[in-house]
Amino acid sequence: MDRKLLTSIILSLLIGTGIGYSISVPQISTLQSEKSSLESELATLITDYSNLNATYNNLNNSYNELLTQYSILQGIYEQLEEAYELLNTAGLVFDGLRISDLNVTNGYLYADLIGNVTNISNKTMSKVYVVLFTYEADGTLYDYHVKTIENLAVNETNEFKFFGVLKENQKFKVLAVGSYGLADIESDEVARLLAMLEGANARIAELEQMVNYEVYVLSDQNYYQSIINDLKNANETIIVAMYSMIYDPDDSFDWANDLIRELVYAKERGVNVTVIIEYRTYWGYMDENLEAYNFLSANNVNVRLDNETDTDHMKLVIIDDEIVYIGSHNWSESGLYYNHETSVKIVSENIARIFKEYLTTAFGI
């Protein structure tokens, strides 16, 4: 090959390579910059995911703790119902008796307790049960004792004595209940039932103090009576996440209509109302919820249908960032009036915040 031609080819290649490189440098720089930016975004996303995962775990732990406490409280509530029913059936009188002149006297190992009980009602009591409750240092019920007084006349005072029952500096409470003879019940059974009530109330107080909240168990129609008052008294915010919300404007008796309309009334008086209604589930669409959605939307309430394929089975209401309703009650005529349902009302800013954070994570409210 001709040396000049070869030289020309080599020079052309070198020039072409140089031109190509000079053109590619800015593009390479841009790509490197974009790569760095994407790496930074990826690192941010990984951090955000880690934070969200930690938040989810915290919320999940809090939710599981709430479920545990709810289960405990439900058991306590059932005990209370049983005790109250038995005591009421026994015809016991919780008013009309006065305890006075309590005196603790030292014994050999344990102290004695002496006091008086007076019938301040207008009828002779055939039996009066004086019950002494003693407590551990942490406030839990330790033991109970009962004394029975027969035929305590109006304004009559009778002395009672409990021997060797109190440890040094032990806390105690004395309660007296009477009977006008409408029914009879063994004194030990009275003491057992009253002790059940006392222990249950102490456990509720302990749970409330532990997490700084008030809790009310609402069965069947009690839920409606409670929540409608809180909706009417809401001042700032209402958040509702409901699996079934059925609006039937042609039914004048339907309690669900009342609750749904209260959301509109709250909106009209300036309350920030947010509603999430389940629509699309694993098995299909809940068209029966559309009437409620359309009604709320037409009245300018911030409402959305949950159109994800998963099923959100929540019956959750948060009012003024402090009051939480959660349980089995749907906002439907059957759920509020006919079915046997159980929910709880919790009054706690901390608990309300946990549930609100969960809704924010799940729905971006």
Check which CATH number belongs to the domain holding 136 and give it.
Answer: 2.60.40.10
The residue range of the domain holding 242 is 214-363
Distance CA 176, CA 227 (A): 35
Shared-domain flag, residues 238 and 342: yes
Is the distance from CB of 298 to CB of 261 less than 8 angstroms? Answer: no
What is the residue-wise DSSP string for 6-42? HHHHHHHHHHHHHHHHHHHHHHHHHHHHHHHHHHHHH
Is the per-residue pLDDT at 97 higher than 80?
Answer: yes
Shared-domain flag, residues 219 and 359: yes
Shared-domain flag, residues 219 and 329: yes
Of all residues in the chain, what percent are helix, strand and coil, respectively (each to 5)?
A: 45, 30, 25
**Any domain includes 115:** yes
**Any domain includes 209:** no
In this predicted model, what pLDDT tens digit does every residue of 267-296 receive, in sequence order?
Answer: 999 999 999 998 876 676 778 888 999 999
Q: Of the residues 175, 202, 229, which one is the last residue of a structural domain?
A: 202
**Any domain includes 52:** no
pLDDT-based confidence at residue 259 (cuts at 50, 70, 90): very high
**Any domain includes 345:** yes
Question: What pLDDT is attached to residue 110?
Answer: 87
Is the distance from CB of 131 to CB of 154 less than 8 angstroms? Answer: no
Q: Of the residues 169, 202, 235, which one is the last residue of a structural domain?
A: 202
Using the 8-state DSSP alphabet, how is residue 289 labeled? G
Shared-domain flag, residues 156 and 287: no
**Any domain includes 79:** no
Q: Are strands 302-306 and 272-278 parallel, antiparallel or unpaired?
A: parallel
User: Taking all residues of the chain, what is their mean pLDDT, rounded to a whole number?
Assistant: 79
Name the pTM for this structure: 0.46
pLDDT-based confidence at residue 45 (cuts at 50, 70, 90): low
Higher pLDDT, 190 or 177: 177
Q: Which one, of 261, 266, 307, lies nearest residue 284 by Cα?
A: 307
**Any domain includes 63:** no
Using the 8-state DSSP alphabet, how is residue 338 labeled? I
What is the residue-wise DSSP string for 144-176? EEEEEEEEE-TT-EEEEEEEEEE-TT--EEEEE
Shared-domain flag, residues 351 and 303: yes
Shared-domain flag, residues 125 and 165: yes
Shared-domain flag, residues 180 and 218: no
Give the chain's domain count.
2
Shared-domain flag, residues 165 and 100: yes
Shared-domain flag, residues 218 and 306: yes
Question: What pLDDT is attached to residue 87?
Answer: 60
Shared-domain flag, residues 153 and 227: no
Q: Of the residues 149, 181, 202, which one is the last residue of a structural domain?
A: 202
Shared-domain flag, residues 237 and 194: no
**Any domain includes 7:** no
Check which CATH number belongs to the domain holding 274 and give it.
Answer: 3.30.870.10
**Any domain includes 80:** no
Backbone angles phi, psi at 132, to 5 degrees: -105, 125
Shared-domain flag, residues 351 and 248: yes
pLDDT-based confidence at residue 158 (cuts at 50, 70, 90): very high
Is the per-residue pLDDT at 47 higher than 90?
Answer: no
Taking residues 103-125, report their average pLDDT: 87
